[in-house]
Amino acid sequence: MMDELTRTWVVDRVDGRTLVLVEDGSGRTVEIARATIAGSPAVGEGGQRPPRDGPAVGEGAVLRVPVAPDGRPIWAEAVLDEAERRARIEEAERALDELKRRDPGGDIAL
């Protein structure tokens, strides 16, 4: 999901108390403190309240992040989108299955 009011970010990796996020579309990368998004409200379909420093805000988590009028992400209002995370995993699994079917040597592995 991407519009002028919300951007979608994916947690690329967790480095201690720091999250490395990648913005959908632009590929822009930012590092933020994990606690920055810990208290965000759950709003909208599939929205979940991320627990303080909890595992839900780990690698692969998909965040919907509101954007301020000046274009800055409002991290404190980020919402986890678990349905989108699952959909992305399923898409990746389908792509891997297709590659395995086309691989004559059978050596494609995760």
> CA torsion 71→67→81→21, rounded to 10°?
30
pLDDT value for 4: 66
Six-digit token string for 18: 């720091």
The architecture of the domain spanning 6-82 is Beta Barrel (2.40)
Compute the residue count for the chain. 110
pLDDT band at 36 (very low <50, low <70, confident <90, very high): confident
Q: Would you list the domain boundaries of the chain?
A: 6-82
pLDDT value for 58: 86
Confidence (pTM): 0.71
Residue 19 contacts residue 38 (beta carbons within 8 Å): no
Average pLDDT, the chain: 81
Residue 33 contacts residue 15 (beta carbons within 8 Å): no
